[in-house]
Amino acid sequence: MGHLGVVLYEYLGEEYPEVLGSILGALKSIVNVIGMTKMTPPIKDLLNSYPNILFISFSGGCFKLIFSFTSIVNLSLY
């Protein structure tokens, strides 16, 4: 599962909102299964991708992406 998290992390530059929302949802599910401490790279490293994700989510108006983004932000705050 940890390796899958690394692979998904590499796709955070995706430009299509629906795909990016699915990637974030999958990352959230992996964190729920293996736990925050075993996640590689750490969820806090996603902070570098936040500006790009915010731009895509609000310019595309994709509800799935906005929901996934807020869910993963909530995880990174704890």
The parts of the chain modelled with pLDDT lower than 50 are: none
Structure-block tokens of residue 45: 């490293």
Helices (H), 1-78: 2-10, 17-34, 50-60, 63-77
Question: Hey, where are the domains in the chain?
Answer: 2-77
- pLDDT of 78 reads 63
- pLDDT of 65 reads 79
Nearest to 12 by CA among 31, 25, 1, 29: 25
Q: By the 8 A CB rule, do 26 and 63 touch? A: no
Mean pLDDT, the chain, integer: 81
